Structure 1
Amino acid sequence: AAAVAAGLEKSLGASFAGARVSGDKADLTVSTTDATEAALITKAGARAEVVGHSLDRLESVKAALDKAALSKAPKNVPVWYVDVEANRVVVNAASTSAAEAFVKAAGVGGRLVTVARSTEQPRALADIRGGDAYYMNPSGRCSVGFAVTRGTQHGFVTAGHCGRVGTTT
């Protein structure tokens, strides 16, 4: 499914609106904004779905929220993400009015964003401590140098000799 989705993403270009697998058989659905591309999707072995917004457009909305969060995100608006299946950006928040104000301040919204009430808060699954091991892809191991924070993003610094740029950790 991943190879088919990647090939269709390339073929569909700007009309690509995401891909997902579902069901017991992991059926692949590929979304597009262009109904004329449905036959191409079906021929590749996936279920075609025509939607209103491209993945690029949804990711640009999320990027605007990410940027706004550096200075404007209230603490009770902790999570936003692209929901490919719903073809929208979802903002989860304890306060829907605070979330709506945040979305408006970011200059996005309308039919592209859904605000959902949620009392859940993200939390770290593990502490990041200097010297702890981390693993790269399925085969490499290195150690954390020290914890860092950039805006609302938390991570760690390494010496940089354990993997190439873009290596999954």
Structure 2
Amino acid sequence: MRRPMIVLVTAAVACALAVATQSTAVAAPKRGGTATTDEVLVAMQRDLGLTATQAKGLRVQEDKAVKLDGSLRDSLGSSFGGSWFDARTGELVVNVTDQARVGEVTKAGARAVVVRHSEAELDAIRAELDTLSGKAPGAGRAKNGTSVLTGLAGWHVDPKTNSVVVTTVKGQERPAALSAVARYGDAVTYEQLDQAPRTANFMDGGDEINGASCSAGFNLRNPSTGHGYLLTAGHCTSGGQANYGQGGVFFGYTLQSWFPTFDDALISADNPGYWFQGPWVDTNPSNGGFINVSGYSDSPVGTVVCKSGITTKWTCGTITVKDETVQYNGVSGPVYGLTRHSACVEPGDSGGANVAALSVWSPEGVTSGASLLFNRCLSTYGLTNVSWYFPIADSLAFYGSVYGVTTW
């Protein structure tokens, strides 16, 4: 289902675009998966301060936590108050509104915290803010209407504070917008960014597309027909546009593109005689080592994600916000349903693949944008990165029903 999320695209669908230099090239057997698996593990160690053993162990812990998260969400029902992964302890932390459900959570293997607000209650507040921002009512995709929340940079549900966090930009706060959310009381808290969110106007599953303006996200396919597709960011391409891979070789036409409101696009693989696709993500330039990706995930806050893009290559961080609505600077309306994370993202990385560091590399989404300083990610200046990707779970739910696409 379509869910509201905040800003900044990072990669996440199922697999990345693999660029073949000859129509007869058989890329997969000749490329070593271990090489780039090691490369991503090195990025995890560098960006997260881990040893090699800790990086490998963390993937196992997160794999267990993601599976547990799904089962407890179902069993706790209306008592579920949100969840996140605690990398320090390797545990899934689960909020419950009913003290009587603590034992159930503990027995399942997670850590329980009793909170005041259920996730459903906070999601409802976030949905009301989305409506005030001009989002069309009901399911599906539609263009934005008029917003009464001008001046806010975004909003999201935060399981750690058990609140809806409203984001403002220093010096750009507007009393009218703030008064519109004041009625929610202690269910709303506030945060402030030094820089306004902005898109990273370029596209790469680690490979460049369209003259290095953006990065490719994931290769998808219709298993019934065998036809291939590429998932990338919506702000990287327009409906009906011709798209090109490395070397300026034609790849295919854009079937649908969504931005703002959402930030993804589906490109048809219309030149299969040249481009060889599969469940791979690598770094630009292509034809080096690669990782295999499998399935997809929609991981909780605290989970480690790594992204590949043509500008910053492999960088890693953790999911900090889910389902955030973000108003990019200079864009006509908000983008809904984004996942925020702390990996470095810069212009050119847009559309690239984001993967969760589970026991398998799992597609999470495609890069959307970031909060930048002089066009550089914030960690360049000793600050914590603020980046976003559009979740592949949302993209597959939408495009799967229309074109029958799945991850490879």
Give the TM-score, by structure 1 length.
0.78
Among 74, 90, 110, the alignment partner of 1:10 is 74
Q: Name the Cα RMSD after superposition.
A: 3.2
Instruction: State the Cα distance separating 1:126 from its structure 2 match.
Output: 3.7
Among 153, 157, 175, the alignment partner of 1:97 is 175
- Structure 1 gaps of 5+ residues are none
Name which of structure 1's ranges 42-51 and 1-10 shifts more when overlaid on structure 2.
1-10
Distance 1:60 1:99 in 2: 18
Among 95, 98, 108, the alignment partner of 1:44 is 108
CA contact (8 A) 1:17 1:31 kept: yes
Paired residues for 1:10-159 under 5 Å:
10-70=74-134, 71-74=147-150, 76-94=151-169, 95=173, 97-104=175-182, 108-127=183-202, 133-136=216-219, 141-142=229-230, 145=254, 147-150=257-260, 152-156=261-265, 158=267
| Equivalent position amino acid for 2:259 in 1 | T
CA contact (8 A) 2:230 2:266 kept: no
Secondary structure in structure 2 of the residue aligned to 1:53: coil
Distance 2:194 2:95 in 1: 31
Distance 2:199 2:259 in 1: 13
Distance change >3 Å, CA 124–CA 6, structure 1 → 2: same
Instruction: State the Cα distance separating 1:64 from its structure 2 match.
Output: 0.7
Highest RCO, 1 vs 2 (Cα 8 Å, sep ≥ 6) = 2
CA contact (8 A) 1:130 1:147 kept: no
Instruction: State the Cα distance separating 1:3 from its structure 2 match.
Output: 1.3
Instruction: State the Cα distance separating 1:156 from its structure 2 match.
Output: 3.2
Name which of structure 1's ranges 65-74 and 53-62 shifts more when overlaid on structure 2.
65-74
Name which of structure 1's ranges 80-89 and 14-23 shifts more when overlaid on structure 2.
14-23
Distance 1:99 1:2 in 2: 36
Name which of structure 1's ranges 47-56 and 89-98 shifts more when overlaid on structure 2.
89-98
Distance change >3 Å, CA 26–CA 98, structure 1 → 2: farther
| Equivalent position amino acid for 1:164 in 2 | G
Give the TM-score, by structure 2 length.
0.35
Instruction: State the Cα distance separating 1:122 from its structure 2 match.
Output: 1.3
Instruction: State the Cα distance separating 1:90 from its structure 2 match.
Output: 0.4
Aligned residues between the structures: 161
Secondary structure in structure 2 of the residue aligned to 1:127: coil
Instruction: State the Cα distance separating 1:154 from its structure 2 match.
Output: 4.2
| Equivalent position amino acid for 1:135 in 2 | F
CA contact (8 A) 2:126 2:157 kept: yes
CA contact (8 A) 1:135 1:142 kept: yes
